[in-house]
């Protein structure tokens, strides 16, 4: 069973860069697609984007200009970078694996999740 462990800075100032990493255990980064999802305090879930084992990415257009996702096959990790953060980016950020089966991957099916990282943006 895949387990995801994530880490990164929890307190940022406006205009700084958010950087989170998610390590994959019990599975291979090369075998699946991987996503980042965030949840502002007391609010619903927002999909940030996904990356596959080939390094191909697909970002939410609402964040596209500020988001970069990358993967490291050798370390079995993938990362999220969000530039120029503001208070509106304050949220719990989750990494998640995308379910793949029968030769297809289903972008809205997140079968395993990291524990979450609360990122607060405040001056």
Least Å distance, CB 123 to other proteins, is 26
Q: What is the CA radius of gyration of the chain?
A: 14
Q: Which C-beta is closer to other proteins: that of 60 or that of 120? A: 60
Q: Which C-beta is closer to other proteins: that of 16 or that of 39? A: 39
> Binding residues for other proteins, per CB under 8 A?
35, 37, 44-47, 58, 60-61, 94, 96, 99, 106-111, 113-116
The C-alpha atoms of residue 61 and residue 63 are separated, in whole angstroms, by: 5
Least Å distance, CB 15 to other proteins, is 26
Least Å distance, CB 13 to other proteins, is 25
* Torsion (CA) 89, 91, 95, 100 in degrees, nearest 10: -90
Other C-beta atoms within 10 Å of 6: how many?
22
């Amino acid at each position: 069973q895949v387990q995801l462990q994530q880490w990164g800075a929890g307190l940022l100032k406006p205009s700084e860069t958010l950087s989170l990493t998610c390590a994959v255990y019990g599975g291979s980064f090369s075998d699946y697609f991987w996503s980042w999802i965030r949840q502002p305090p007391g609010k619903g879930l927002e999909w940030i984007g996904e990356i596959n084992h080939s390094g191909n990415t697909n970002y939410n257009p609402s964040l596209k200009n500020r988001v970069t996702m990358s993967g490291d096959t050798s370390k079995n990790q993938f990362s999220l970078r969000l530039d120029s953060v503001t208070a509106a980016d304050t949220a719990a950020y989750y990494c998640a694996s995308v379910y793949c089966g029968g030769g297809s991957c289903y972008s809205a099916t997140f079968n395993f999740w990291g524990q979450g990282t609360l990122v607060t943006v405040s001056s």
